[in-house]
Amino acid sequence: MGNTHKLVLASGSPRRIELLQQAGIEPDRVLPADIDETPLRSEHPRSLAKRLSKEKAEKALMALMREAEYQPGYVLAADTVVAVGRRILPKAETVDDAIACLQLLSGRAHRVYSGICLMTPSGQARQRLVETRVRFKRLSRSEIDRYVASGQWRGKAGGYAVQGYAGSFVVKLVGSYTNVVGLPLYETTMLLAGEGFDVRARWPEAVLT
């Protein structure tokens, strides 16, 4: 059975698009929702991830209000936050950002939170929060410098991309790996399926013998 309502992804992240495609889900439209991601005073990382994902979904939904072909439909948004304790790490945009993040993460544990928000065809906002615990090995200055030279940290929360060279820094990971990449697939597909979206619509038909 196919899907009668379209799915809009409120993110331009190649990682999130690729993860959805990995699950056999092709968004009908990609509509990045640019918002102010500055944490509120004393805001907990968990709260930040949930708030930003909902704000992104709401902004994308507002942008679609004049486009009848996407009404009603599904709008999916996500936001990933990396934190050491209550300290929220930035999405690294400069070399100094990346070095500071990696020095802080070196030899210690941190948490990756992803907020997911799905705006349903009935106009309801459904949210999930996923947490993964990650521990890095102790990084030498040479390792940090060479990783920074790779450029894989650019725009990444916490200054690293676990699916790249930084995967070799991980001593232990407890929870969802795809959450650390950028979108927890299990929770996302379960959320979509629970709201009537056929997540296996493009999978091959079963052959019964």
- Rounded distance between C-alpha atoms, residue 84 and residue 200, angstroms: 37
The average pLDDT across 167-182 equals 98
pLDDT at 35: 95
pTM of the model: 0.92
Residue 119 pLDDT > 70? yes
Q: Is 79 a catalytic residue?
A: yes
Could you state, in order of their start, the residue ranges of all structural domains in the chain? 7-194
> Which amino acid makes up residue 186?
Y
CB 125 within 8 A of CB 118: yes
Of 184, 140, 145, the closest CA to residue 162 belongs to 184
The second-level CATH assignment, the architecture, of 7-194 is Alpha-Beta Complex (3.90)
Residue 188 pLDDT > 60? yes
Residue 132 pLDDT > 80? yes
- Name the active-site residue from 28, 34, 36, 79: 79
The average pLDDT across 50-68 equals 93
pLDDT at 3: 83
Residue 208 pLDDT > 80? no
**The pair of three-digit structure tokens given for residue 132, joined into one six-digit string:** 């993964």
The average pLDDT across 123-137 equals 97
pLDDT at 209: 61
| Chain mean pLDDT for the chain | 94
CB 157 within 8 A of CB 101: no
